[in-house]
């Protein structure tokens, strides 16, 4: 298992993940989690079959070293005339 796959697994399952790390490592962790998302072809296929799109957001707190990730649904829904 790759080093950052566990964070990505937590994100997929719960749509958010929090971890404590030195603030000097935050950007590296963010980049590696993005890479895990990019490499996960099965997850991408499932999202495309379900017509769902997620965007990865992160927030870094330098003071206490907390790094938070969230997967946010950014799917554009089509509205049918029957729905109005």
| pLDDT tens digits, one per residue of 32-59 | 999 999 999 999 999 999 989 999 999 9
pLDDT at 83: 65
Output 79 or 62, whichever has higher pLDDT. Answer: 62
pLDDT at 75: 87
Distance CA 17, CA 8 (A): 8
Residue 72, pLDDT > 70, answer: yes
CA-wise closest residue to 46 among 22, 12, 74, 76: 12
């Amino acid at each position: 298992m790759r080093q950052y796959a566990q964070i990505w697994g937590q994100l997929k399952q719960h749509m958010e993940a929090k971890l404590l790390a030195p603030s000097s490592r935050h950007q590296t962790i963010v980049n590696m989690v993005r890479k895990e998302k990019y490499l996960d072809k099965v997850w991408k296929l499932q999202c495309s079959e379900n017509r769902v799109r997620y965007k990865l957001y992160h927030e870094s707190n330098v003071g206490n070293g907390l790094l938070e990730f969230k997967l946010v649904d950014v799917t554009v829904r089509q509205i049918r005339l029957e729905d109005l």
